[in-house]
Structure 1
Amino acid sequence: MSDLQIGLILLGVLLILVVVMFNWWQDRRIRQKMQEHFPERDHDPLMGAQAPGPVRREPGFGAVLAQDDDDPAADDDAEVDPGTEVVIDISFAQPVGSAQLQQAVQGLVRVGSKPVRIFAERDGGGHRARLRANENYASMQLAIVLANRSGPLTDIEWSQLWSAAQGLAERFDGAIEAPEQDEVIRRAAQLDQLCAGLDAQVGLILRLNQTVSAGAARQVLEDAGFLPYGRQLAWMSDTGVPRFTALFDGIAPQEIKSESVNRVDLVLDLPNSPADEQAFSRMASVGRDLARRLNAELLDDQGRPVLDGADGTVDRQLFDLYRKLELAGFEAASERTVRVFS
């Protein structure tokens, strides 16, 4: 063998060693980077329980999502209310996954002036008011309120919901079941008529003797005991539900645009406040305190001065309305009542 051949063989071996070393170095560098992004766990998930960590949650029907460790066979508590809602039922030809269903119903929370609630039945059993991760669903229900303070459900609103249901049925090769439109509209009118006789709001007016800034008026109310509640200022009950709220010149304090305030209104929304034998007395007492703090005159919602001796009479009248609400199936400040009286 010539020196040339021996040199070529040695060169080839050297090149092979270089390639091997380069690959080893590349592999080691990649492993280090992976360790930086994905550190080793104390527990192998294939060998037992994982170390504690955040639970992954999937999108739901716009409500709080169920934990992944919830009992999959357990039903959610929220259900369709047949007395105040009407339902379109959609049965799927094949089970639909939670991710697909979420994408399909995203944004379907209201039709016209009426809120829509969405429910689903899990493939294999289980009623859902919100989606859960890694589940499949055999059917879903679109529930729309029959009446609220905007009036009864209209034929246009019902047609819009029906169109949305048809779109979902076509998307998932499903079948629709729903009552006839005439029956729906008749039930909506009945509920609206019933609720019209039960609805009541009572107000007090604080007519300021001199204009004050909106910020100063807000501070006075908060010093007196009002708390922020959404865009409102509210006098809260022990249960965390407002007894009554305040308006500045007829506008929610968070929404007022003017810098000054001439009038403060206290509003007791009867169906949406907890039943109370002294509902008016409490509000009137707070109103008198605010009148002193704001240098204002306390008037009823007809513009007449509020007389001290009239509180008890109004209390009894309002408590009678609370009882009528309850007898009609609308417990004051309950979720069902708020859904209709809103």
Structure 2
Amino acid sequence: MSTLQWALIGVGLALLVGVWAYHRWQARRWMPRRQRAAVASADTDGADGEAGTGDAQRQEPHLDVPAPAAARPAVAPALLSERLDVIVPLVLERPVTAEAVLQALPGTRRIGSKPFFVEGLPDDAADEAAWEALTPGRRYQQLRVGLQLANRAGPLNEIEFSEFAQRLQHWAEHLQAAVDCPDMMAVVQRARALDAFAAAHDAQLTFTLRARRAAWNPGYVMQHAARLGFVPGSLPGRMVLPASRPGGAPLLVLQFETQAALADDPSLAVLREVRLTLDVTHVPQDEEPYSRLCTLADRLADAMDGWVTDDTGQVLAAEAFDRIGGELGVLYDALRERGFEAGSPDARRLFSG
């Protein structure tokens, strides 16, 4: 054979080897990662001359670890209250799952300005009073729906109740349940009476700290507040004194102008005043929130060279602090007698919204 023929044969063999190598690379590129690692290991062993056909088929070892036992889902306690909600039971033909109920509910859990809640009695409950918030993975033999009678937006009105009754009837049909709504006017009268009580016993105390001479800036205020235990809040220009109990409302709120907090250069923003607020009905009396309010207001005023004043700019004297403290004692007693002790879940729901 001539030299040209041998050269053409060589080129053809080179092309065949190239095509084979390309397809092998493509196959390994799209191979699952775990299988790719096993093939690579087999190739390496074969190159070392230490593995035969059986080694080329070797796979990663499988660890037979027993799966952990299924944990019981965390259960949220009941929230509905006879004092605060109109509660309507749903009589079910058969037990239902939490998932089926939640799927039937709308995305928003409010009707007008009032929140509503759904609770269930578990299928395996031994106590007829063992109501709980719906928990995925659980089955329920009974359901009840509650709509809040009043909050800071006012009492439940006729329009809100009518919408609630219509939605409730729709949910009942979807779940094949029977429902009997109470008389609308009786519910609305309850709501108005509760709202009247709430309006007479709501209290949010605010002390204003005003600069005596030099103005402040946000960084200066936040530095002094942080030394007293305040931490940044969720909104610009807001700091909170955290509760000592998990899940509790902030004991106090410190607030200043949002525009100053969002300024391009906060060090140049000018603050002449900041506000310290206590939402009385949201904080338990045994936390002594009013005493803390007075103490921290004085300490901040001293540290920043300011005055403690009321909303009108009048400097608060010691007699004013004592008078307010006495009025708060009467308020705490009235809330406790009505079943809305300050800081309790019912009180926080009633005085919100």
TM-score (norm 2): 0.70
* CA–CA separation in structure 2 for the residues paired with 1:291 and 1:299: 10
SS of match in other structure, 1:94: coil
What percentage of residue pairs aligned between the two structures are identical? 27
**Quick one: which of 234, 250, 263 aligns to 2:240?**
234
Note the C-alpha offset of 1:172: 1.9
* CA–CA separation in structure 2 for the residues paired with 1:116 and 1:286: 38
Residues 265 and 179 of structure 1: CA distance in aligned 2, closer, same or farther (over 3 Å)? same
* CA–CA separation in structure 2 for the residues paired with 1:183 and 1:297: 50
Residue equivalent to 2:92 = 92
Note the C-alpha offset of 1:77: 4.3
Query: Which structure: larger Rg?
Result: 2
**Quick one: which of 179, 183, 187 aligns to 2:182?**
179
* CA–CA separation in structure 2 for the residues paired with 1:157 and 1:256: 39
Residue equivalent to 2:252 = 244
Q: Deviations over 1:10-62 (max 9, x none)?
A: xxxxxxxxxxxxxxxxxxx8xx99xx99955334xxxxxxx4377485xxxxx
Residues 42 and 317 of structure 1: CA distance in aligned 2, closer, same or farther (over 3 Å)? same
Note the C-alpha offset of 1:289: 1.5
Note the C-alpha offset of 1:183: 0.9
Q: Once structures 1 and 2 are overlaid, which stretch shifts more, 259-268 or 272-281?
A: 272-281
SS of match in other structure, 2:133: coil
Residues 214 and 159 of structure 1: CA distance in aligned 2, closer, same or farther (over 3 Å)? farther
SS of match in other structure, 1:161: helix
Note the C-alpha offset of 1:228: 4.3
Equivalent residues of 1:147, 1:340 under 8 A apart: yes
**Quick one: which of 139, 143, 148 aligns to 1:140?**
143
Equivalent residues of 2:114, 2:147 under 8 A apart: yes
Within the alignment, does 1:151 sit opposite 2:174 as a pair? Answer: no
Residue equivalent to 1:103 = 103
Residues 221 and 98 of structure 1: CA distance in aligned 2, closer, same or farther (over 3 Å)? same
- Map 1:191-340; keep pairs closer than 5 Å: 191-208=194-211, 209-228=213-232, 230-231=234-235, 232-239=238-245, 241=248, 242-249=250-257, 257-258=262-263, 259=266, 260=269, 261-275=271-285, 279-340=289-350
Q: How many residues align?
A: 286
Residue equivalent to 1:80 = 80
Q: Once structures 1 and 2 are overlaid, which stretch shifts more, 321-330 or 201-210?
A: 201-210
Equivalent residues of 1:279, 1:318 under 8 A apart: no
* CA–CA separation in structure 1 for the residues paired with 2:321 and 2:307: 17
Equivalent residues of 1:111, 1:161 under 8 A apart: yes
Residues 130 and 77 of structure 1: CA distance in aligned 2, closer, same or farther (over 3 Å)? closer
Note the C-alpha offset of 1:333: 0.5
Note the C-alpha offset of 1:330: 1.3
Query: Which residues of structure 1 form unaligned runs of 5+?
Result: 1-28, 44-50, 58-64, 67-75
* CA–CA separation in structure 1 for the residues paired with 2:286 and 2:124: 45
Residue equivalent to 1:12 = none
Within the alignment, does 1:41 sit opposite 2:57 as a pair? Answer: no
SS of match in other structure, 1:212: coil
Residues 123 and 52 of structure 1: CA distance in aligned 2, closer, same or farther (over 3 Å)? closer
What letter matches 2:208 in structure 1? Answer: I
Note the C-alpha offset of 1:277: 9.5
SS of match in other structure, 1:197: helix
Residues 229 and 40 of structure 1: CA distance in aligned 2, closer, same or farther (over 3 Å)? same
Residues 54 and 234 of structure 1: CA distance in aligned 2, closer, same or farther (over 3 Å)? farther
What letter matches 1:234 in structure 2? Answer: V
* CA–CA separation in structure 2 for the residues paired with 1:230 and 1:112: 26
Residues 230 and 274 of structure 1: CA distance in aligned 2, closer, same or farther (over 3 Å)? farther
Residues 38 and 341 of structure 1: CA distance in aligned 2, closer, same or farther (over 3 Å)? farther
Answer 1 or 2: which has greater helix percent.
2
Note the C-alpha offset of 1:329: 1.6
Note the C-alpha offset of 1:137: 2.6
* CA–CA separation in structure 1 for the residues paired with 2:217 and 2:151: 35
Q: CA RMSD in A?
A: 3.3
Equivalent residues of 1:202, 1:301 under 8 A apart: no
